[in-house]
Amino acid sequence: MRSPRKLLRALPLVELGALVLVALACLAFQLRLPDRFPAEADYRAVAGWLKAEARPGDAVLLFPWWTEKARLYLPPELPVYGYLGSDGDDLDAHPRVWVLGQPELPRADAAGFQAAFLPGRTVQGAPRRAGRLELTLYENGRHRPRRFVASEAYARARVYLESPDGQRRDCAFDGRTHRCPGPPHLYVAPEWHEILYQPRRCLWMHPPGGEQRLVAELDGVPGGTELRLEGGIIFEHAWQRSPRLSTTYVVVEDAATRERLLEVAQPPGLEGVQKASRTLPPGEPRTVRVWVQADNPESRQMCVELLALGEAS
Amino acid sequence: MTSRAATREERWLAVALWALAFAALWATESAVGFTRDESVYFYASESYARWFQQLWHNPSRALTDAAIVRAFDYNHEHPALMKVLFGLSHLLFHDTLGWLRPAAAFRLPAFALGALVPALTFLLGSAVYGRTAGLFAALSFLLVPRHFFHAQLACFDMPIAAMWLLVVYAFWRALDDRIWGVLCGLFFGLALATKHNALFLPFILAPFALWRAWTVSEKQPVARTGLWRVVGLFATVAVLYGVLLVALGPVGFQKKFLLLSPHTLLFAGLAVGAFWLPHELNRHHPPTALALLPLATMAVFGPIVFYAHWPYLWHQPVERTAWYLNFHATHNHYAWFYLGQLLRAPPFPLEYVLVKTALTVPTSLFVPMVTGLLALAGRAVLGLFERTRALVRVPGLTEALVGVNAVASLLIISHPQVPHFGGVKHWLPAMPFLGILAGAAVARGCEALVERLRVWRPGLSLATVAAPVFALLLLPALVGLVRVFPYGTSVYSELAGGLPGAASLGMQRQYWSSNVTAVLPWINEHAPPNGRVFLHEVHGLSFRDYQRNGMLREDLRPAGPFDADIAAYQYHQEFREHEFNVWESFGTRTPATGLYLDETPQVVVYQRR
- As a whole number, mean pLDDT of residues A304-312 equals 95
B480 close to A (CB below 8 A): yes
Q: Which helix (H) or strand (E) holds B78?
A: none
pLDDT digits (tens, 9 = 90+) for A130-181: 999 999 999 999 999 999 999 999 999 999 999 999 999 999 999 999 999 9
Instruction: Give the E-state strand segments of B44-141 in sequence order.
Output: none
Query: Is A26 close to B364, i.e. CB distance below 8 A?
Result: yes
A124 with A13, same domain: the answer is no
B219 with B307, same domain: the answer is yes
pLDDT of B24 > 80? The answer is: yes
B368 with B313, same domain: the answer is no
Query: Is B476 close to A235, i.e. CB distance below 8 A?
Result: no
Dihedral, B420, B425, B428, B431 alpha carbons, nearest 10:
90
Angstrom distance (rounded) from CA A145 to CA B170: 74
A41 with A28, same domain: the answer is no
Q: How many Cα atoms are found within 13 Å in the side-chain-facing hemisphere of B501?
A: 16
| Per-residue H/E/C for B267-288 | HHHHHHHHHHHHHHHHHHCHHH
Distances (CA, A) of A42 to A38, A70, A73, A132, B592: 6, 10, 10, 7, 18
Angstrom distance (rounded) from CA B312 to CA B328: 17
Name A200's bridge partners. A193
* Residues of chain A found within 8 Å of residue B562, distances taken between Cβ atoms: none
Round the average pLDDT of chain B to a whole number and report it: 97
CATH number for the domain including A249?
A: 2.60.120
pLDDT digits (tens, 9 = 90+) for B403-433: 999 999 999 999 999 998 888 999 999 999 9
Angstrom distance (rounded) from CA B293 to CA B274: 8
* Residues of chain A found within 8 Å of residue B601, distances taken between Cβ atoms: 66, 68-69
pLDDT value at position A198? 98
* Residues of chain B found within 8 Å of residue A234, distances taken between Cβ atoms: 577
B407 with B308, same domain: the answer is no
B437 close to A (CB below 8 A): no
pLDDT of B113 > 90? The answer is: yes
Q: Count up the domains in chain B and report the number.
A: 3
A107 with A233, same domain: the answer is no
* Residues of chain A found within 8 Å of residue B504, distances taken between Cβ atoms: 64, 66, 105-109
pLDDT digits (tens, 9 = 90+) for A275-285: 999 999 999 99
Contact call for residues A135 and A42 (beta carbons, < 8 A): no
Counting every residue, how long is chain B? 609
* Residues of chain B found within 8 Å of residue A5, distances taken between Cβ atoms: 391
B202 with B181, same domain: the answer is yes
Q: Which residue out of B492, B590, B593 would a mutagenesis test of the A interface target, given it has the greatest number of A Cβ atoms within 10 Å? A: B590
CB atoms within 10 A of CB B467: 12
- As a whole number, mean pLDDT of residues A287-299 equals 98
B173 with B253, same domain: the answer is yes
pLDDT digits (tens, 9 = 90+) for A69-98: 999 999 999 999 999 999 999 999 999 999
B461 with B594, same domain: the answer is no
pLDDT digits (tens, 9 = 90+) for A12-61: 999 999 999 999 999 999 999 999 999 999 999 999 999 999 999 999 99
DSSP-derived secondary structure for B529-541: TT-EEEETT--HH
A203 with A121, same domain: the answer is no
Domain finish residue from A108, A140, A172:
A140
B494 with B584, same domain: the answer is no
Which residues 446-465 on chain B approach chain A with CB closer than 8 angstroms?
A: 446-449, 452
What SS3 state is found at A94? coil
Task: Tell me the shortest Cα–Cα distance from B239 to chain A, in angstroms.
Answer: 39
* Residues of chain B found within 8 Å of residue A22, distances taken between Cβ atoms: 363-364, 367
pLDDT of B53 > 60? The answer is: yes
pLDDT value at position A7? 82
pLDDT of B399 > 70? The answer is: yes
Contact call for residues B473 and B571 (beta carbons, < 8 A): no
pLDDT of A299 > 80? The answer is: yes
| Per-residue H/E/C for B317-364 | HHHHHHHHHHHHHCCCCCCEEECCEEECCCCCCCCHHHHHHHHHCCHH
B305 with B446, same domain: the answer is no
- By Cβ distance, the residue of B580, B591, B594 closest to A192 is B580
pLDDT value at position A77? 96
A37 close to B (CB below 8 A): yes
pLDDT band at A313 (very low <50, low <70, confident <90, very high): low
Angstrom distance (rounded) from CA A101 to CA A135: 6
- As a whole number, mean pLDDT of residues B504-532 equals 98
A282 with A155, same domain: the answer is yes
Query: Is B497 close to A37, i.e. CB distance below 8 A?
Result: no
Query: Is A107 close to B593, i.e. CB distance below 8 A?
Result: no
- By Cβ distance, the residue of B363, B388, B580 closest to A193 is B580
Dihedral, A40, A41, A42, A44 alpha carbons, nearest 10:
90
* Residues of chain B found within 8 Å of residue A31, distances taken between Cβ atoms: 479
Contact call for residues B495 and B359 (beta carbons, < 8 A): yes
Beta-strand relationship, B336-338 and B341-343:
antiparallel
Q: Which residue out of A65, A87, A105 would a mutagenesis test of the B interface target, given it has the greatest number of B Cβ atoms within 10 Å? A: A105
In total, the C-beta contacts within 8 angstroms joining chain A to chain B are: 154
Cα-flanking dihedrals φ and ψ of residue B539, to 5°? -65, 145
Query: Is A105 close to B367, i.e. CB distance below 8 A?
Result: no
Contact call for residues B209 and B291 (beta carbons, < 8 A): yes
Query: Is A109 close to B371, i.e. CB distance below 8 A?
Result: no
Position B548 in a domain: yes
Name A129's bridge partners. A134
Domain finish residue from A140, A158, A188:
A140
pLDDT digits (tens, 9 = 90+) for A184-224: 999 999 999 999 999 999 999 999 999 999 999 999 999 99
pLDDT band at B443 (very low <50, low <70, confident <90, very high): very high
Angle made by CA atoms B238, B241, B245, in degrees to the nearest 5: 135
Counting every residue, how long is chain A? 313
DSSP-derived secondary structure for B466-514: HHHHHHHHHHHHHHHHHHHTT-GGG---TTTTHHHHHHHHT-----TTG
Which residues make Cβ contacts (< 8 Å) with residue A120, sequence separation at least 6?
Answer: A90, A140, A141, A142
Position B388 in a domain: yes
Which residues 332-361 on chain B approach chain A with CB closer than 8 angstroms?
A: 335, 340, 342, 344
Instruction: Return the exposure string of B514-543: e unless at least 16 CB atoms fall within 10 Å of the residue's CB, then b.
Output: bbbbbbbebbeeebeeebbbbbbbbbebbb
Cα-flanking dihedrals φ and ψ of residue A209, to 5°? 105, 155
Contact call for residues A196 and A272 (beta carbons, < 8 A): yes
H helix intervals, B362-430: 363-382, 386-389, 397-414
Position B119 in a domain: no
B573 close to A (CB below 8 A): yes
DSSP-derived secondary structure for B550-596: TSS-TT-EE--TTT-SEEEEE--GGGHHHHHHHHHHHT----SEEEE
pLDDT value at position B254? 93
Position B208 in a domain: yes
Query: Is A12 close to B501, i.e. CB distance below 8 A?
Result: no
Which residues 165-224 on chain A approach chain B with CB closer than 8 angstroms?
A: 191-194, 197, 199
Domain with A279, as residue range(s), is 146-309
A89 with A170, same domain: the answer is no
B317 with B168, same domain: the answer is yes
Give Cα B413 distance to the centre of its chain.
13
Contact call for residues A239 and A226 (beta carbons, < 8 A): no
Domain finish residue from B486, B505, B524:
B505
B195 with B304, same domain: the answer is yes
A83 with A171, same domain: the answer is no
B271 with B379, same domain: the answer is no
B370 with B467, same domain: the answer is yes
* Residues of chain A found within 8 Å of residue B441, distances taken between Cβ atoms: 15, 19
pLDDT of B372 > 80? The answer is: yes
A133 with A155, same domain: the answer is no
Q: Which of B82, B323, B292 has its CA nearest to residue B190?
A: B82
* Residues of chain A found within 8 Å of residue B342, distances taken between Cβ atoms: 239
**Which chain B residue has its CA at the smallest distance from A11's CA?**
B445
Angle made by CA atoms B2, B4, B8, in degrees to the nearest 5: 170
Contact call for residues B137 and B365 (beta carbons, < 8 A): no
pLDDT value at position A272? 97
Domain finish residue from A74, A109, A140:
A140
Q: Which of B17, B121, B96, B62 has its CA nearest to residue B439?
A: B121
High-pLDDT (> 70) share of chain B, %: 100
A15 close to B (CB below 8 A): yes
B393 close to A (CB below 8 A): no
Which residues make Cβ contacts (< 8 Å) with residue B203, sequence separation at least 6?
Answer: none
Position B62 in a domain: no
Contact call for residues B368 and B438 (beta carbons, < 8 A): yes
pLDDT digits (tens, 9 = 90+) for B169-221: 999 999 999 999 999 999 999 999 999 999 999 999 999 999 999 999 999 99
A179 with A199, same domain: the answer is yes
pLDDT value at position B281? 95
Query: Is A18 close to B367, i.e. CB distance below 8 A?
Result: yes
Query: Is B581 close to A192, i.e. CB distance below 8 A?
Result: yes
Region of poorest pLDDT, from A2-6, A26-30, B254-258, B323-327: A2-6
* Residues of chain A found within 8 Å of residue B599, distances taken between Cβ atoms: 37-38, 67, 69, 102, 105
**Which chain A residue has its CA at the smallest distance from B498's CA?**
A106
Position B23 in a domain: no
Question: What would you measure as the largest C-alpha separation in chain A, in angstroms?
Answer: 93
Q: Which helix (H) or strand (E) holds A225?
A: none
Cis? peptide before B118, omega within 30° of 0: no
Q: Which of B148, B17, B51, B41 has its CA nearest to residue B103?
A: B41
Position B561 in a domain: yes
pLDDT value at position A3? 76
Domain with B592, as residue range(s), is 514-607
A304 with A265, same domain: the answer is yes
B590 close to A (CB below 8 A): yes
- By Cβ distance, the residue of B368, B480, B574 closest to A30 is B480
Angstrom distance (rounded) from CA B531 to CA B523: 10
**Which chain B residue has its CA at the smallest distance from A76's CA?**
B590
pLDDT digits (tens, 9 = 90+) for B594-603: 999 999 999 9
A285 with A185, same domain: the answer is yes
A62 with A121, same domain: the answer is yes
